[in-house]
Structure 1
Amino acid sequence: MKVDYGVRALVELAMRYGDGPVQTAAIAYRQGIPEPYLERLMSTLNKSGFVHSRRGPQGGHLLARDPQDVNLYDIMQELDGNASPLDCLTLPTDCMFVDSCAQKEIWQTVEDSIQQVLQATTLAHLADRQSVLIAEGDSGHEVSEPVPAVSV
């Protein structure tokens, strides 16, 4: 939930990059995120350097970096701390089968693939795709080009 809401909020800011601050209430409304939860989440994103936040009537939130320079892997690491499908990949000493596990190799491949996709997917990609999907929802056109896939 935290990663989902965080990415949605950051994509909202990426779609408005360069337009000035966006208030928490506007992000919460457009993204369907409970405002009190979003306020805490935006504080976390501010402290971690993803956004700049300003209080007051002219305040709101801005992306701290260009959307092309922010990838999903970095966001997920900050908000979740772990993108690994299994704990044994990040804490191998907790597994009694660490040296003799046939599953470990396949799960490591899965983790590597996930990391590759997350690192290759930027907020700019997601904001562009979101804009297309919104426009299609308004006009009923066919889906166009999706976010670029990464071959694994």
Structure 2
Amino acid sequence: MDNYLTLKQASETTGKSERQIRRLCNEPKNKEYIQRDEKGRLLLKIDFLQQNYPLVHVPNDNNKAIHEVDSVTEDGYPQLPDDRDFKIALLEQELRHKEDLSAEKDKRIEVLERSLLLLDQARPVITPQIQEPEIEVTKRKKFLGLF
């Protein structure tokens, strides 16, 4: 069950409310990513959670043991080993996602370029010549010599 988080852990990890995550769990298409533990609590697959919500690690200071400090961040705050590993994993995931988006964009550009080439080969370029209609000017008769 290392790949699963409880509802509360998922809420803390994503920064979303437990109610919002529960709504996600209740959708029928998402049932394959949800399990229940011995006590009947909902367990969510971590990969599924990452696909739906960006992971924002919000540390909860309640009842936490003091960890050994590995290094100090640029801000001068101590950085915990878990935070560093989490940030590395998060950045790697974002990088993979951006690479996937870039690959999809490149494929879409190729498809559009091919379709433009096919359209240009199929239709000869014809420049339509627009003829302006001639307007006839008619003179009206004067009404009682006034107009």
Tell me if TM exceeds 0.5: no
Q: Which has the higher helix share?
A: 1
More relative contact order in 1 or in 2 (CA 8 Å, sep 6+)? 1
Q: Which has the higher strand share?
A: 2
TM-score (norm 1): 0.31
Larger Rg: 2
